[in-house]
Amino acid sequence: MFGQILRRMLLAIPVLWIVATITFLMVRVVPGGPFDADKHLSPEIVANLKAKYKLDRPVVEQYGHYLARLARGDLGVSYKYVNRTVNDILGEAFPVSVQLGFAGLLIAVAVGVPLGTMAAVKRGTAFDAGAMFLSTAGISVPGFVVGAVLILVFGIWLKWLPVALFESWRHLVLPALTLAASPAAYLARLTRASVLEVLEKDWVRTARSKGLSDERTIFRHVLRNALVPVVTVLGPLTAILITGSFVVEYIYAIPGMGRFFITAVTNRDYDLIMGTTLIFGVLLIITNAIVDIVYQLLDPRIKLES
Amino acid sequence: MYPVLKTVYIRCLGLSLMSFMLALSLFGCGGGKTYEPDTLRMNLQAEPPSLDWLVTTDSTSFDVISNLMIGLTQYTNSLKCNAGCAQRWEVLDGGRRYLFHLRKDVLWTDGQPVLARDFEYAWKRLLDPKTAAQYAFFLYDLENGFEFNSGKVKDAAQVGVKALDNHTLEVRLRRPAAYFIYLTAFCPTYPQRQDIVEKYGDRWTEPEHIVTNGPFMLTLWRHEYKIELTANPRFIEGPPKLKKIKMFMIPEQATAFGLYENNQLDYVDNRSFPTADVERYRNSPHYTNIPLLRATYLAFNVKKKPFDDVRVRRAFSMAIDRTTFPKILRRGERPAYSWIPPQLAGYSEKSAVHFDPLTARRLLAEAGYPDGKNFPPVKLLYPHREDAKLVVEQAQEQIKRHLNVRVQLEVNEWKVYLETVRRDPPPIFRQSWGADYPDAETFMNLFTTHNGNNDTRWSNALYDSLVERAAGEQDPERRKALYAEADALLCKEEAPIIPTYFATQNLMVKPWVKGMEFNALDVQFFKDVSISPAR
């Protein structure tokens, strides 16, 4: 297995190179530049800025410089946040997003998987209908609405939890719930569909006919097989959640990195755009590799070689 | 069907819920407190791009820096220049030379005295091409300021600023500039310590390295989240009444206003004040509305037909009733009939252009478009933001109603918009301009022929001459008259722009905040603010 993981990691290098190259070219093709502002700068000042950031060099040379820096782990400098490197910016914001993302992920899994399982087991009952109504609402209602409602109820009316900011664990509760709402709903629906499919299998009937208890059948046989599609989506979902959510960070004033996926583009902050894209790419590769390993643990018939 | 499973699940859920409620009750509620003693809590909305006052250009950074530093002079809230590091100054050689005499008791936060060479170093650093300062042009009035910044002069010693001794600074200008004194209160001209900047390089503005000379010191900078300032015991005017200022970076207006309502912020301004709440609190005793030196306008590209005809431009300008803009924007804006705002010397009622649809239709007919007939299709470009959309839609409707001319609206993403306007301005576009210093020059210079921000392509020798003469005029009354004449030429006679409205600052201040004043330049000074129980 170690060899397979190593091979996956080596394969990640060309993938990241392609991502870096495409992003590098795209950000330079988009109209508008990092120094366009409502007060136009004189050509002399623009020339000074371009010289400082080496944007006066040919694009091929800029690309070469970028790759050389990247190879040393240097993601470049921000043009918006003067004197700050992309490593500094993301180094401060990423741990915050990881905390929030894992809290959201835990809630999503803790709510979504049991809810979906119960709904499948109690198919056709009021519980099933209620669970599916909730999950449809969770998917359909946008995060900013969920956030606003939670703030209004728990922050302003009941005053149980802080409205916003990031000072203690209590400040994480509402953002994590907001972040978890949609993934939990999605996981519930996915788990329900998957469990229903597995429940129809002959070997489930066989297990029951052998006299296995319901709990043992569900936990040991049904869930283990039904979770394969759930684990598949957990990979990219983890990458998405731990790199931050623009909406959640925005409405709760959380200093995570989700905002940079948007603001770096609107500011044409080239290196920061590249940095966020690459970090997301790296996380996607890692989480997908972990998913592949978990596949094997859940179902030994699946081999990494295949 | 699976009762045990159901029971386990419900128990787990119940237990989690109970623990959650217990935890909340143990840790108390979030909104019970009112104020924090001697602490002001506010919202900056965004991360300051830099706290290096020579390289930053945005109001967020300036809100912080203005409370960390003072320059040669400092603004009062009535926007007069008072003594700062300089106790007095002499204007010599008809306004071409200034001698600033520095106080000897102004100290940096590390105890070192503020010296004339700190100004000389900072000003030359601002102009140094290697610094790549976007606001270097503020010192282009210095002898060889532009030449040094553009690389035509390599020797910094030729720039017109020199420390004659520890406490005397000489400034030589390339031409008299009556507004120059205002620049000495503006962030890009504040002094800097060469030893600190060179020792710590890019990280010199972090709290552990930075040295400042103003009422507060930077003690915490948690990027993208919070800045904390504490009182500077060495401040020249004595320590401020506040011991601490907490500046949060809450991007969402509604969230920030929720914090204000929950007593977790002590005041809010436009950055944290949604329009719906402005309307809700307009009659509150804690609400204030301050007109700002910030104007929004529609601009014509006068090189593009049919706006190369002054009659068409004037017809458009007269066809718009400016009083409608505050009604649709709902933030207490003031209609703009002239380019110079009413708060500045040079403003004159006589320069104002007024709503006159009859004359507008007559002018359009004279230009060859009676009742809008044969008027070519024209495009009005605006950036993607709600207030701009409301304004251009209102203008479109009024032009159709009063001139029977159909204007096509086009929206661009912000940076695309900026590039389009700079490269090839469309026939009409929406722009805005904020004052950097409280002088008509900052507005009027914008439409001179060689100003890089004059996207109208309008060029008028008389206007250029009036603005040039006014800039150097030392007599205040003659200066006012020159600006008024130029403003009338711009708005009434030539109309390359249609001023639409002047922005305002909307504020809510908690009753326990004392001494909080605001100004039209929208720079917030907290040195006289205190926190004490409301009666």
Instruction: Report chain B residues whose CB lies below 8 A from the CB of A151.
Output: 255, 258
> B-chain residues within 8 Å CB-CB of A32?
413-416, 418-419
What is the nearest CA distance from A48 to chain B, expressed in angstroms?
A: 5
Decide: helix, strand or coil at residue B31: coil
Asked if A162 has any chain B CB less than 8 Å from its own CB, the reply is: yes
Contact B30 A39 (CB under 8 A): no
The residues, any chain, with a CB within 8 Å of residue A198's CB and separated by 6 or more, are: A204, A221, A222, A225, A226
Q: Output Rg (C-alpha) for chain A, integer angstroms.
A: 24
What's the predicted TM-score (pTM) here?
0.88
Mind listing the pLDDT tens digit for each residue in B23-80?
Answer: 444 343 444 568 999 999 999 999 999 999 999 989 999 999 999 999 999 999 889 9
Residue B421 CB contacts under 8 Å (≥ 6 apart), including other chains: B381, B429, B431, B455
B416 vs A118: CB contact, 8 Å cut-off? Answer: no
CB contact under 8 A, B255 and A251: yes
**For residue range B144-202, what is the model confidence (pLDDT) as tens digits?**
999 999 999 999 999 999 999 999 999 999 999 999 999 999 999 999 999 999 999 99
Torsion of CA A256, A261, A262, A263, to 10 degrees: 70
Q: Do A37 and B264 touch (CB under 8 A)?
A: no
User: What ipTM was predicted for this assembly?
Assistant: 0.87
Q: Is B30 on the interface with A (CB under 8 A)?
A: yes
B31 in contact with A, Cβ within 8 Å: yes
d(CA B211, CA B192) in angstroms, rounded, equals: 8
User: Is B264 within 8 Å of A31 when comparing Cβ atoms?
Assistant: no
Collect all residues with Cβ–Cβ distance below 8 Å to A220 and sequence separation of at least 6: A212
The beta strand positions in A208-295, using DSSP E, are none
- A45–chain B Cβ distance below 8 A for any pair: yes
What the block records as the tokens of B416 is: 């695309």
How far apart are the CA of B309 and the nearest CA of chain A, in angstroms?
26
Any chain A CB within 8 A of the CB of B150? yes
Contact B217, B109 (CB under 8 A): yes
The pLDDT > 70 percentage for chain B reads 93
pLDDT per residue, tens digit, chain A (306 aa), is 677 778 888 888 999 999 999 999 999 999 999 998 888 888 999 999 999 999 999 999 999 999 999 999 999 999 999 989 999 999 999 999 999 999 999 999 999 999 999 999 999 999 999 999 999 999 999 999 999 999 989 988 888 999 899 989 999 999 999 999 999 999 999 999 999 999 988 888 888 888 888 888 888 889 888 988 899 899 899 999 998 788 999 999 999 999 999 999 999 999 999 999 999 999 999 998 888 888 888 777 776 554
Exposure string for A97-108, b = 16+ CB within 10 A, e = fewer:
bbbbbebbbebb
- Torsion angle of alpha carbons B15, B21, B23, B24, nearest 10°? 160
Which among A81, A162, A215 is the nearest to B49, CB-wise? A81
Structure tokens at B448: 């001179």
Q: Chain A contacts of B420, Cβ < 8 Å? A: 31
Q: Do A89 and B6 touch (CB under 8 A)?
A: no
- Which residues, other chains included, contact B39 with Cβ-Cβ below 8 Å and sequence gap of 6+? B242, B243, B244, B245, B246, B531
Cβ of B220 under 8 Å from any chain A Cβ? no
Kindly determine whether residue B29 and residue A48, on different chains, have CB atoms separated by under 8 Å: no
Number of Cβ pairs closer than 8 Å across A and B? Answer: 177
Scanning A1-30 for CB atoms below 8 A from B yields: 30
d(CA A202, CA A207): 9
Residues of A in contact with B2 (CB under 8 A): 121-122, 214-215, 218
Task: Say if B7 is an interface residue toward chain A (CB within 8 Å).
Answer: no
